[in-house]
Amino acid sequence: MKQDPRRPSRPRADSGAVGDLTPPPDFPSTFPDPIEPDPMLATELDRARLIQSSLLPAQLPAVRGFDLAARYLPATHVGGDYYDVLPLRGGRFGIVVADVSGKSVSAAMIMVMARTIFHGLAPAMASARATVLEACERITPDLPGGTFLTLAYGILDPETGSVSVVNCGHNPPLLWTTLKNRPMVETVPVNGPAIGLVRGSAFERALVEREIPLASGDHLLFHTDGVNEAMDVNANEFGDRQLVKAIMRGGTKDAGGMAQEVVNAVLHHRGIAPASDDLTVLDVWRLP
C-alpha cells in the first residue's frame, strides 16, 4: 500500500525505529488534578436529606385496637418519599404515604409544603376525599412545571374498624385477609390522577373514595414504588408477585413484622445493587 503523502510517516512497532519523542513546546508540563466532588452539590444533598428526615415521624401514634408500623430506607441519592399518621377529630387517624417526582432539595421542599398542608387541613375535614381535593387545590399552583405528587391517603376509624382511602396516582394499598380460613392478598381497587397532572373539575371527577372494612387480624399495607420497582444488579425488578409473596409470609405477624418482612424481601432481591429510589412501607394491622 502506498503512503499518503499528506500524512506524516510513523514508525512501525516492529521496525526498531524510535522516532522523535520530544513533546511540542505547548505541551503541558503538569496535568490537572482529578475532578473533585462539588462541595456545593454535596452540601445541597446533605441539606435535602436533613429536610427529608425531619419530615418523617419519630414514632407513630397508638391506636386503640390497631397496631401501626412503618419502615423507610433512603436511596443512595435524595428521593421524595413521605409518610405520616395524623390524629384527627373524633378519634380517627389520617394515614399519608406519598412520593414526589424529582430529587434533591426541590423534592424535599415540595414534601415540606405537602406535610404542612395536610397537617393544617386534615383534622378539620370530614372525609379523605375532601381532604385530598382541598390539598390538591393548595399544592398544585406551587408545583414546578413537570413535577407531580402521588399519594395514598386514608382515614382510619377505630370505632368502625374501617379505612376510607383515596389514591392519587400512587401504588394502591394491599389487603391481607382470610377467606374461609385461607389467607389471601387483594389489591384495593382505588385509583385516581396524581396531584399536578390533572387540575380542577377533571381531578375532582376522577377522584374516588373507597371504604375498606378490616376484620380482626387483617393487614392493610401502604407502600411506595421503591418497593416493587427495586432492582438487582441485572436490572430485574422486585415486582408485584414477590411483594405479594412477602405479604403472605408476614400475614401472621404484627404490623412491625409485616413491614420488616417486605423490607427484608426487597433487600434480599436487591443484593449488592445500590438503592435507586426511596422505599417506604406502612402497615395497619387490626388486632385479633
Q: Which CATH number goes with the domain that contains 134?
A: 3.60.40.10
Q: What residue numbers bound the domain in which 145 lies?
A: 66-286
SS3 state at 235: coil
Q: How large is the average pLDDT for residues 219-232?
A: 96
List, for residues 160-173, the tens digit of each pLDDT value. 999 999 999 999 99
Q: Is residue 257 part of a domain?
A: yes
If one counts the domains in the chain, the total is 1
Q: Is residue 176 part of a domain?
A: yes
Question: What grid cell was written down for 3?
Answer: 503512503
DSSP states of 7-64: SPP---TTS------PPPTTS-SS-PPPPPP-HHHHHHHHHHHHHHHHHS-SSPPPBT
pLDDT at 7 over 70: no
Backbone angles phi, psi at 95, to 5 degrees: -115, 120
The answer to whether 230 touches 269, Cβ cutoff 8 Å, is yes
Q: Is residue 272 part of a domain?
A: yes
Q: Which long-range contacts (CB under 8 A, 24 or more apart) does 119-125 make?
A: 119/84, 119/86, 122/86, 122/88, 122/94, 123/86, 123/87, 123/88, 123/89, 124/89, 125/88
Q: Is residue 56 part of a domain?
A: no
- Whether the model pTM is above 0.85: no
Q: Is residue 38 part of a domain?
A: no
List, for residues 244-255, the tens digit of each pLDDT value. 999 999 999 999
Q: Is residue 40 part of a domain?
A: no
List, for residues 83-120, the tens digit of each pLDDT value. 999 999 999 999 999 999 876 677 778 888 999 999 99
Instruction: Identify the band that residue 260 occupies on the pLDDT scale cut at 50, 70 and 90.
Output: very high
**Average pLDDT for the chain:** 86
pLDDT at 19 over 80: no
Q: Is residue 35 part of a domain?
A: no
Q: Is residue 24 part of a domain?
A: no
